[in-house]
Amino acid sequence: MIDKDLLIKKLTNQNKFLKSKLKEAIKGNITSDPIVNKIIAKHIERHQEGMKNFGISMQDNNKPLKDWVLDAQQESMDHILYLEKILKKD
């Protein structure tokens, strides 16, 4: 026969453990590599900001393929400008 109090205690401890892991995951801390965790946290932050600004996830956004390509092209051009600016600082 299972001890009810012991089972409740185990489940309570598991619940606390899982809640703490979930809180860390929401912050982006889900790998053993702090660099990867930092990027994950930035992605989560960017997603939350995008949802606030646009109200739709990328998965649910059905804009035409050409618009996605143009967005990617513009982002790529910005990246080149950022890199050029960094190189000019030397």
pLDDT digits (tens, 9 = 90+) for 34-48: 999 889 889 989 999
Structure pTM? 0.59
**Residue 50 above 90 pLDDT?**
yes
pLDDT value, residue 2: 74
With b for 16 or more beta-carbon neighbours within 10 A and e for fewer, the 42-64 pattern comes to eeeeeeeeeeeeeeeeeeeeeee
